Amino acid sequence: MDGIGYEDWCAKWLKKNGFHKITKTKASNDQGIDLIAERGGLSWGFQCKYYSSHVGNEAVQQAYAGMTYYGLDKAAVLCNTDFTKSAEKLAEQTGVILVPGLQPEGAKSSTLLLKIMGFIGGGLCAWQYYELIRSASELPQRQLSILAFAFLSSLCALFTGSRMITYVLCALCAAVYASASLMAGAYTDALAVLMAVMLLLALIRMVILMKDANEKEAALQKAQLDEMIAKGQKELGENIAGLLASELRTSVKAQRTRRRSDGSAEIHCRSAAGVSDDLAVAVYSLNMQADAERENIRFEYEIQDDTHFVIRIRDKERGNTDEMV
């Protein structure tokens, strides 16, 4: 699988997990975002990385830049491996969600090996069945019944994928044939040895599937929690923008809202007209209103240009050691 194929696989995975309106960006100049999707009223941007090693800071930086470029609410990086510690730290600071271990089932070497063994096992079953027909006028019912378990195990191995039930059936049928062969003293029987190996592989894949399922569930729960937080932050930004619009007497739009590591909320705003001269008065009014309602918060601001500015909301008790203004 290459990077493009992994993007297609990730798009299907997102659809299964409740995302819709999933679109792919241009293959070149994608500005750090491979997929754009929506869920819960929020727009999401995804960077997809199919690596053989851990994913580093660059992917987080790309996703964060792409989120700003496309005007999205949230950004995430999906990868088939894991992330470096520095990438995890940067993601925590920027609010980018990291989802590791999204490995397409078709890329699992143990699954491929199990399919190959299933094909060989099916051939051995057919050969033993032929030998039973050729050597006896009346087919021994017990041998046929036991042989049927080997055939079913081989069949399940051929059709293994992401479904746990196929591995369970494969393991059970292989266990029945292998144990019956051992009880009969057939320790060197080729089919019995093959079934024992298939049983081991099926058990390994079952453990891997359960581990992957737990990791994906944890990642999904984290994404849902972050989604709820992001939705609350978006509503907060819209409310503050509405208050500022009434104070400044012009249209104000909250472009992006995020929570910083120090616990403060940061709202990036854009006004329809220049407000640099009136912004201090508007923020002062917000602080007076917060004091009147006995809210333990303080509003601060930073002017970027005539129409772009940042509003920060922090706990009053934290003090003003790093005030923006």
According to the model, what pLDDT value does residue 227 have? 60
105 pLDDT higher than 80: no
Residues 254 and 262: their CA atoms lie apart, in Å, by: 21
What tokens appear for 268 in the block? 């990036």
Q: Residue 36 has what pLDDT? A: 93
pLDDT at position 122 over 50: yes
Cα 195 to Cα 150: distance, rounded to the nearest angstrom: 7
Angle between helices 164-183 and 190-248 (to 10 degrees): 160
R_g (Cα) of the chain, nearest Å: 30
User: What pLDDT is attached to residue 35?
Assistant: 93
Q: Which of 36-50, 172-186, 190-204 has the highest average model confidence (pLDDT)?
A: 36-50
pLDDT, position 231:
67
Q: Which residue has the tokens 């910083």?
A: 260
Taking only the tens place, the pLDDT of each residue in 1-53 is 667 888 888 998 999 888 999 998 876 666 789 999 998 888 999 999 988 78
Q: What is the pLDDT of residue 212?
A: 66
Euclidean distance between CA atoms 239 and 182, whole angstroms: 73
Average pLDDT over all residues of the chain: 80
Output phi, psi for 151, to 5 deg. -65, -40
- State the average pLDDT over residues 129-156: 75
pLDDT computed for residue 322 by the predictor: 42
* Chain Cα centroid distance, residue 218: 9
